[in-house]
Chain A
Amino acid sequence: MSKKILEIKDLKRDFIMGSETVHALRGISFNVNTGEFVTIMGSSGSGKTTLLNILGCLDKPTIGNYFLDGVDVKTLSRDELAMLRNHKIGFVFQSYNLLPRTTALENVELPLLYNKDVSAAERRERAVHALEAVKLADRFDHTPSQLSGGQQQRVAIARALVNEPVMILADEATGNLDSRTSYDIMALMQELNSAQGKTIVFVTHEPDIAAFSSRTIQLRDGQIQKDTQNENKRSAKEMLENLPAVEDY
């Protein structure tokens, strides 16, 4: 029995730019259940970023409701939103957003520093555990500048996992990576999704990437154009194995 993690009802978001009102989202409704791997697709201007901001509790809808894990986001204050982000959402960004000159382990510990229920020892333990989960057990002391793009993104994923969120929210997480590394990251995402049952919402504009998810929501002009279950989901791991071997890799 899967539970609704996201519940979006007739969501609208308007921006006032000078004298004009821009309707970024014009009424969107969909639900996401636990354990789903959803990609949200759309060209630029489709409202993808606005939706992402709202899903990430960084922004609030103008009209309509958004329930995250049963909590009505619209009623929360700025500080309560921050707390909600801390407890329930793991962000993965296109540009990794790791703190420079800070070790991988400390980067991963970061969200737990804002959670006062976690002790120093537990924080360290959970960060180590998260880094192991993304297969970076041997890179604890490396700073971002000593890591490759793929490794940096893995650290970022570990950081997203460390607070045990109900949802991982990825924003073009493979946008800065070559295809081999992208597959690598997607393989990791798929593993987290299938083996650990993590709910993943992945925003992207690459149809290639969307093929790895179980469901795709297509946005166009602030509305849902298509919402399809992906019957023949591709395995990123297999794709990776089938890539021609590169000698100096």
Chain B
Amino acid sequence: MRAYLPDYQCSSANSLSEAFSFLEKGARPIAGGTDIMVLFDAGLLAPGDYVDILGISELKGITKKRNTLTLGALTTYSEVRQHKFLQTNFPILCESAKEVGAVAIQNRGTLGGNIANASPAADFPPALLVYEAKIHLVSSRGMRTIDYTKFHHGYKESELKKDELIHSVSLENHLSKHHHFWRKIGSRKAQAISKTMMAGVLKINKNVIEEVRISFGSVAPTAVRCTEVEKFLTGCPLNKNTIREAKQILLKDIHPIDDIRSTGKYRLAVSQNVLEEFLCGIG
């Protein structure tokens, strides 16, 4: 059923301070609308006041300062995938942006929206987890910064307060000697929401794993870092036995369920295989 228009109100904010005054009166933010408008069209969006934040210039742009790259919350998927520095240094972010929806969605959907929507199937979180991003939240009280690993609390629950906006995400560039891996499994190439997806970075030295970070999406209430697998792999020689054992240990890190897109059993088997694909591809 279509939403009933008079139940909604929406105003545009052109600056952060303007946005805060709307948020403090209970309005909810809308940016690119690629999640909110889907709910709206289906008659499932909570009625009430919304504030359009898409025009706020403080939340836009990608800036580089020494070794730190900062992406404004309103950075679109298209901007991420086309950014040359990101392509070279944070390729998983570009690869994941490239697989969100298709061109028309990528032109509208934003980094901040992808995070704030807090879906376990969101495409950016696995990349942000392995790149150990920091997330900057802003409200009329000021700015606060937290590790991205601490942002998501549970299914659709996050650190973001009702009167706060995601300001930006920052990444440290120190992974030039690492292998970067991204794999998304969906029903088709375009427009698919994932059944499982994996991001991984790994540094190898004389066939011994020196550093590894692995993250999965769509297989737990939030995207997860696979700390058990990482702990096991670090310092191990990369061979068939290591890979076989890592696939078993993965069961401790991820807990996929049956839902509209897939079954827990399928997700688990495929996640194990994707992990194998990652480790076999090194070298």
Binding partners A and B: no
Residue numbers of A with Cβ under 8 A of B are: none
Residue numbers of B with Cβ under 8 A of A are: none
